[in-house]
Amino acid sequence: MADPRRSLNDVVRGSAVALLAAVCLVCVASPARAATTVALWNMGDSGTTMSDATGRGHVGSLHGVAVRQAGISGAAFGFAQRPAYVTVPASADLTPGTGAFRVTLYARMPAVPSASVEDFDLIRMGLSTTSGGDWKVEVLRSGQALCEFRGASGVVSVAAGPSVADNRWHAVSCSRGASAVSLTVDGQTWSRAGNPGAITSAATVYLGAKDGTGADQYTGLLDSVSVSRG
CATH topology of domain 36-229: Jelly Rolls (2.60.120)
> Between these two residues, 165 and 28, which has the higher pLDDT value?
165
Res 8 pLDDT > 70: no
For residues 89 and 113, what is the distance between their CA atoms, to the nearest angstrom?
27
Alpha helix positions (H), the chain: 4-27
pLDDT(219) > 80? yes
DSSP per-residue codes, 90-137 = --GGG--BTS-EEEEEEEE-SSPPPTTT-SEEEEEES-TT-TT-EEEE
Of 158, 140, 139, which Cα lies nearest the Cα of 149? 158
The confidence score (pLDDT) of residue 2 equals: 46
What tens digit of pLDDT does each residue of 118-171 get? 999 999 999 999 999 999 999 999 999 999 999 999 999 999 999 999 999 999
What mean pLDDT comes out for the span 16-36?
A: 46
* Whether pLDDT at 7 is above 70: no
pLDDT band at residue 34, thresholds of 50, 70 and 90?
A: confident
Whether pLDDT at 183 is above 70 = yes
Mean predicted confidence (pLDDT) in 185-205? 97
